[in-house]
Amino acid sequence: MHGARIPDVALVTGATSGIGLAVARRLATRGVRVFICARTADTVATTVKSLQGEGHDIDGLDADVRSRASVERLVRGAVERYGPITVLVNNAGRSGGGPIAGITDELWDDVIDTNLHGTFRVTREALTTGRLGEAGAQGRIINIASTGGKQGVALGTPYSASKGGVIGFTKALAKELAETGVTVNAVCPGYVETPMAVRIRRSYAAVWDTTEENVHDGFRQKIPLGRYSTPDEVAGLVDYLATDTAASITAQAMNVCGGLGIY
């Protein structure tokens, strides 16, 4: 335990696999009551049952961060179940890209709507309906961005643009909320071994007319540590940022990337 106060209610979006699932488990292991979401009700129910089976106090609802009504329902559900939100982890997101000349409006709009607009919608609702930071409580908002939002990803312009937007949103909101004691930070993973990473390698293999193994090898060679990060390594930083010890850290965008990013 890093601090005396345990943030006792966390809302984690996109939490049924990969980084989101690791974050939910890590927070719950520390005694935080966690409310999760994903777009598919059955997946949420299965994940909740599994984590409850591990002894965690966890619940959730299906929700689509692209829909204001869905987000409102999600946050109301979290508050009704556990009370005011103390920690918000905006993790829901999607990949998307390809040669820019062939990117459709629909793909561009959906990546931006999911990754950037979704982060805005959930944050706004957490600060209002979710009562995050009320009564002087030190709240935590942690946005999962990407090293791609800092330095760009070839064939990933929608993704890089959306995550760059998340970083800018994070820094601006951190300054807005600083006097309230609510901190706002971004965690920027590099290559992390998740189901999304598998889909990304498959997409690059198709564009480059090569194998997924060759793509994987090429990506690993760019990482100074020579390996992908794990979801739990990303979750470890998220967990730390949700503690009292991290109370003076705000408006930052911190990498978990094996040395891939250097700023």
Same domain, 19 and 107: yes
DSSP state of 35: E
Mean pLDDT calculated for residue range 7-25: 94
pLDDT in tens, 58-117: 999 999 999 999 999 999 999 999 999 999 999 999 999 999 999 999 999 999 999 999
Same domain, 166 and 224: no
pLDDT of residue 205: 87
Range of the domain at 201: 193-228
Report which of 251, 257, 259 is spatially closest to residue 233, judged by C-alpha positions.
257
Same domain, 95 and 217: no
Residue 199, Ramachandran bin (φ over 0: left; ψ between -120 and 50: alpha; else beta): alpha
Same domain, 183 and 205: no
Q: How many domains does the chain have?
A: 2
Q: Which residues belong to the active site?
A: 159
Same domain, 215 and 234: no
pLDDT in tens, 185-216: 999 999 999 888 888 888 888 888 999 999 89
Query: 3-state DSSP call for residue 16?
Result: coil
CA distance to 61, 179, 220, per residue, from 84 (Å) = 16, 19, 42
Same domain, 145 and 25: yes
75 occurs within a structural domain: yes
**3-state SS track over 55-107:** CCCEEEEECCCCCHHHHHHHHHHHHHHHCCCCEEEECCCCCCCCCHHHCCHHH
Same domain, 216 and 234: no
Q: What tokens were used for 123? A: 């944050």
22 in Cβ contact with 40 (< 8 Å): no
211 occurs within a structural domain: yes
Q: What pTM value is reported for the model?
A: 0.94
